[in-house]
Amino acid sequence: MIDEIKRDLIDRMQKVQKSLHASKEIETKKLEQWGDEMMAAFDKAISSVNFDIDVFEELKKKRQELKKWKIGFFKNLFPIKLTYVLSMPFIYGMVIPGLFFHICLEIYHQVCFRIYRIPRVKMGDYFIYDRRLLPYLNWFEKINCVYCSYFNNLLRYATEISGRTERYWCPIKYAHRIDKTHSQYDKFVDYLDAKNFRDKWRDLRNFSDIEKVDEKKCDFMNDKNDELIK
């Protein structure tokens, strides 16, 4: 059912995107950007709903079946590849600068966001480790998954912190199109919009929009927990 709704909504969004591309009233570059952003945001939202509803239930049902694909640690390790062994100090050695960066980032986050009155980024929204639940991974693969998850999640977390900082201090879009942007970038002032820049900048220092989103997330999680308790 969810997949059918997802396909139907994606088809509709693609039609909207095509009609927007055909319009001559707005610049083509902006149009493409808006269309891509809408599709990405929509697909992400639907995927997250689908994940919450289906995946963990399927995991419970298929646990024994998935375990059949598990490979033992030694079978996975041998034959040993010399290139992998040589690269290990460089891979796992990154934990030292990574932890140092995380500590410095968190000091800045906790101190300066309070000074600027910017809503702090919730760590739990970014540090996700659910791949360790997969029964077809052995203990060594799970450790590696947690390690990779930590670093990738740390960078996503840092991007959100820097994005909110950029919104506070310099909310101007670049002249060039940026393919991958942080969550606040679309709210920024257009590159040549000097006339409205100061007023929009002042408005963007009001983070009530983020606070409302955080409240909705909390309400959703509380409702979900109430249902689980019942």
pLDDT tens-place string over residues 135-145: 888 888 899 99
Say yes or no to pLDDT of 229 above 50: no
Burial 85-99 (b: 16+ CB within 10 A, else e): eeeeeeeeeeeeeee
Say yes or no to pLDDT of 120 above 70: yes
**Among the residues of 68-175, which ranges form H helices?**
73-77, 82-92, 95-116, 139-169
pLDDT tens-place string over residues 13-61: 777 766 666 555 555 556 656 666 666 666 665 555 555 557 777 777 7
Q: What gap in Å lies between CA 218 and CA 80, rounded to an integer? A: 48
Extents of the domains making up the chain? 1-61, 62-229
Say yes or no to pLDDT of 79 above 50: yes
Percentage of residues in the chain having pLDDT higher than 70: 69
For residue 119, cis peptide bond before it (omega within 30 degrees of 0) = no
Long-range contacts of 129-138 (CB under 8 A, 24+ apart): 133/59, 134/59, 134/66, 135/59, 135/63, 135/66, 135/67, 135/70, 136/66, 136/67, 136/68, 136/69, 136/70, 137/70, 138/70, 138/71, 138/72, 138/73, 138/76
Q: How confident is the model at residue 148 (pLDDT cuts 50, 70, 90)?
A: very high
- Average pLDDT on 214-220 reads 61
Q: What is the pLDDT of the chain when averaged over all its residues?
A: 80
